[in-house]
Structure 1
Amino acid sequence: MKPWMKPRLLLVAAGWLTTRALMLWLLARDGHAPLGIGGVAREVHELYARWYGVLAHGTFPSGDRLWQYPPGAGPVLLSPGLLPGLTYFQAFVLLALAADALVAVALTRAGNRTGRSLRGAALWIAGLPLLLHLPLARYDVQVTALAVIALLTFSRSTRACGAFAALGALVKVWPALILIGTPRGRTTREVWTSAAVTAGALLLALAALFRHPFDFLRQQGGRGVQIESLGGTALSFARHAGWPGQVRYRYGAMEFTGPYVSTIAAASLALTVAAFGAMLLWRLRARHWTPATPYDAALCAVLLFTVTSRVISPQYLVWLLGLAAVCLTSRHTSQRPVAVLITAAAAASALAYPVLYRDVMDCTWTGSLLMLVRNGLLVAAAALSFRRLWTAGIRPAGTPSAGIRSAETEPSHNSRHLPHETVSTS
């Protein structure tokens, strides 16, 4: 280790310990002022613990409208049972902290490589506490850890990258999107084949060990428009204009009910399809890959699918912070300003939930304007992310490829993949 690196690593470690101690303190005060309505930990105490009891008997929750997760979520929710002597809640929080620490270590190791940056580790360590104690009471940190490791292992092992992405996708679907930026050709075939084989093997194993592994598919179709989504923000302002809709607790979230809600939900799905088409068009048109392109494309894809979703829960920001942090480990990323917008959106999300969630539920002017700011930041981040990804990947003929320069400064990438990542494919 170079002498000047040690103080930086000590600072990273001290930052993680300090901020996570603060998050634990906030978790212990869940429900007290100034944390608004509180109850952030209730989902672990009541919902996850109940599902643990069902899963421990060898079956996935059947007919439970709140169970909307792929079968890979089962082992994650069962894992606290592996820690003896602790309550389910204590073990869950400990495992969430362990996953958080794993992400921090992985980002720090990546940032220490030649031509890389510790900005990614700094963003994760300083950015996650902006969501207060919420990340410790959801399993999104564990899913994000799988996605982060998948991306950071890409330069060393395409098969490992595909396997980790598949594991993440079987837990919460969205990590499947992180593979959209792999360079065309043999690299993509290897990564996607590994992901498919891993997903297939794990699905077979879960189907053999548990009953009703695909019951979650029946529950997804009934989802409405959550109050924190982009469509929910429009309906929140419509309430001030006389729209008669109401807010109800449905499918594990606060959703709008009333006239035109189904239309808003359909519009959200249409926007999601359009986002998927835009990413496919970028992939078909892109001619230049740098070592940062798989990271940048992963962040862009997840951002687009987040802002077009009928549900934009605050824990979705955990995913975006993790992917933005991976982008910042590379000095050649195009997503630095996007990371700033995501960080600001995370801070706004903490105000929306739990601090001012009563205002959001009641559609007061404070709640409506707060969601407009949070979702406006996310929309701006998604638009900017796609524009910068498009500009970096589709250059006019004769423009030198940034990837050739990055091959000289980021030698950590497997030389077997460099022709795909650094040379124009036009």
Structure 2
Amino acid sequence: METTGTRRSSAWLLGVWGLTRVVLLLFVFKVYVFPGPDVTSDVSVIYQGWYDVLRTGTFPLDDVTWQYPPAGALAILSPALVFWLDYPSAFFVLAFTADLAVLLLLLNGGLRRGRTLRGAAVWVAGVPLLGPTVYARYDVMVTAVAVAALLAGARHPRLMGALTAFGAMLKVWPVLLLLAARSRAAWAWAAVTAGALAAVFALAMPGAFAFLTFQRDRGTEVESLGALVFHVARQYGWSGEVLLNYGSVEFLGPYVDVVSKASLGLSCLAFGWLLLWRLRARRFEAHTVAEAAFVAVLMFTTTSRVISPQYMVWLVGLAAVCLCFRESRMRLPVALVLAACLATVLEFPVWFSHVVASDGLGVTLLFLRNGLLVLATVLAARVLWRSTVIRPASVAVPAQPTRPRETSLPS
């Protein structure tokens, strides 16, 4: 039975959520201007341009900034559901709705036995730390699907599989949710759903998988871990440049391909570690699926040659699901991710000009944000390994029998 304390906590979380989200809406609707570059231009220019093309029944084949799986078209077309609003306004309303859906999922999940409302609190606090960027990208919609999949995992593996596949067809990263799934039903439904969606899009819309070739010539995005090499190198006369390339601000010039390959190598090492963990893991608890997904996405986000601010929404959503479970040991990594969110909104959009200029403030913010992500990744991986990989019991050496001491009777 729900206690009075739980009801008060839920009401408090809903109240704080409502207050902070109204502030975000005021920023995206430009009632107030958020510091830095306009983060809503992606919706009003890029997304709306894609929308106009997608409505004709084809993907934007001539636009290399389209780098998403085919179901991403559904997110871009979704504002048509709110047809009485202009495209940007409808998109912001739907992003707000997805945010609310995540909160309700976390509140519902947190009220079950063995669960807690800490996960909902993480979501309530984490999203506004990222500023209005959250409502100006469709990542919050993908995160809603991922959160629903993880919370459904234990009791409804088929639903988890279907939702995971749908999320992966929206944006690839949700495929990592299946890392610790042990139910064959989850994997089977994921395969069937992904296959069905891929077939429908391939037959119905030309260019459904053209996105696979649109990232080959990308540079290193200025906010990524590898970009720190060039931010420092610019202080010593590096001859490269910073340009808008493939939809993001990237470094282009000497040795960029080397750093990009090194980032890919780190991602391969992360994949190898995850594979080793999956082979060695023996103790699977209710929260293991969420924790494994959190670690995997942390690893691939941190090592990627692109760390866009909206990627942090994924981590906040997965972190929130982890802390829905009372037994989760991910509190410190989650706290580090929330701190990284605050550093992220400072480096973009607030002081993004300093990041592009590679000056002292910009480089310091990037070292702080990326350092927090690296530390969170290492600690989360350590927690996951220690909680699931059982050490082999040491072989006990049998004790040698002791001979009774001979005693002599007094004469």
Q: TM-score range with shorter-chain normalisation?
A: over 0.9
**Residue identity matched to 2:169:** L
Does structure 1 residue 41 correspond to structure 2 residue 48? no
Question: Which residue pairs with 1:325 in the alignment?
Answer: 320
For residues 211-260 of structure 1, the C-alpha deviation after alignment (integer angstroms, 9 at most, x for no partner) is: 11111111021221000000111211111122221101100001001110
Hey, what's the Cα distance between the residues in 2 that align with 1:4 and 1:68?
46
**Residue identity matched to 2:59:** F
**Runs (4+) of structure 1 moved beyond 4 Å?**
none
Residue in structure 2 matching 1:381, options 370, 376, 392: 376
**Residue identity matched to 1:152:** L
Question: Which residue pairs with 1:16 in the alignment?
Answer: 17
Hey, what's the Cα distance between the residues in 2 that align with 1:261 and 1:196?
36
2:113 partner SS: coil
Hey, what's the Cα distance between the residues in 2 that align with 1:351 and 1:227?
14
Hey, what's the Cα distance between the residues in 2 that align with 1:30 and 1:168?
33
For residues 378-405 of structure 1, the C-alpha deviation after alignment (integer angstroms, 9 at most, x for no partner) is: 0111111111111111122459xxxxxx
- 1:109-258 equivalences under 5 Å are 109-183=108-182, 187=183, 189-258=184-253
Conserved? CA contact 1:30–1:40, under 8 Å: no
For residues 92-119 of structure 1, the C-alpha deviation after alignment (integer angstroms, 9 at most, x for no partner) is: 0111011100000000011111121100
Hey, what's the Cα distance between the residues in 2 that align with 1:31 and 1:315?
21
Conserved? CA contact 1:352–1:367, under 8 Å: yes
1:380 partner SS: helix
Does structure 1 residue 303 correspond to structure 2 residue 298? yes
Stretch moving more, 200-209 or 376-385: 200-209
Aligned residues: 393
Hey, what's the Cα distance between the residues in 2 that align with 1:287 and 1:93?
44
For residues 142-182 of structure 1, the C-alpha deviation after alignment (integer angstroms, 9 at most, x for no partner) is: 00011110000011110100111111100110000111012
Question: Which residue pairs with 1:88 in the alignment?
Answer: 87
Question: Which residue pairs with 1:67 in the alignment?
Answer: 66
Residue in structure 1 matching 2:329, options 331, 334, 338: 334
Unaligned residue ranges in structure 2 (runs of 5+): 395-411
1:249 partner SS: strand
Q: Evaluate the alpha carbon distance shift between residue 382 and residue 206 of structure 1 in structure 2; reply closer, same or farther with a 3 A threshold.
A: same
| TM score, norm. by length of structure 1 | 0.90
Does structure 1 residue 270 correspond to structure 2 residue 265? yes
For residues 276-297 of structure 1, the C-alpha deviation after alignment (integer angstroms, 9 at most, x for no partner) is: 0100000001111111110100
Residue in structure 2 matching 1:359, options 354, 357, 372: 354
Stretch moving more, 199-208 or 128-137: 199-208
Conserved? CA contact 1:226–1:310, under 8 Å: yes
Does structure 1 residue 6 correspond to structure 2 residue 1? no
Identity of aligned residues (%): 45
Hey, what's the Cα distance between the residues in 2 that align with 1:25 and 1:78?
23
Conserved? CA contact 1:297–1:389, under 8 Å: yes
Conserved? CA contact 1:63–1:215, under 8 Å: no
Stretch moving more, 321-330 or 332-341: 332-341
How far off its partner does 1:334 sit?
A: 2.1
Hey, what's the Cα distance between the residues in 1 that align with 2:230 and 2:387?
36
How far off its partner does 1:306 sit?
A: 0.4
Pick the structure with greater CA Rg. Answer: 2
Conserved? CA contact 2:28–2:92, under 8 Å: no
How far off its partner does 1:263 sit?
A: 0.1
**Residue identity matched to 1:359:** H
Conserved? CA contact 1:226–1:311, under 8 Å: yes
Does structure 1 residue 103 correspond to structure 2 residue 102? yes
Question: Which residue pairs with 1:416 in the alignment?
Answer: none
1:133 partner SS: helix
How far off its partner does 1:335 sit?
A: 1.1
RMSD of equivalent CA atoms = 1.3
2:295 partner SS: helix
Question: Which residue pairs with 2:398 in the alignment?
Answer: none
How far off its partner does 1:208 sit?
A: 2.3
Does structure 1 residue 345 correspond to structure 2 residue 346? no
Does structure 1 residue 288 correspond to structure 2 residue 287? no
Hey, what's the Cα distance between the residues in 1 that align with 2:230 and 2:108?
45
**Residue identity matched to 1:103:** V
Unaligned residue ranges in structure 1 (runs of 5+): 400-426
Hey, what's the Cα distance between the residues in 2 that align with 1:226 and 1:5?
44
2:325 partner SS: coil
Does structure 1 residue 395 correspond to structure 2 residue 390? yes
Hey, what's the Cα distance between the residues in 2 that align with 1:30 and 1:204?
43
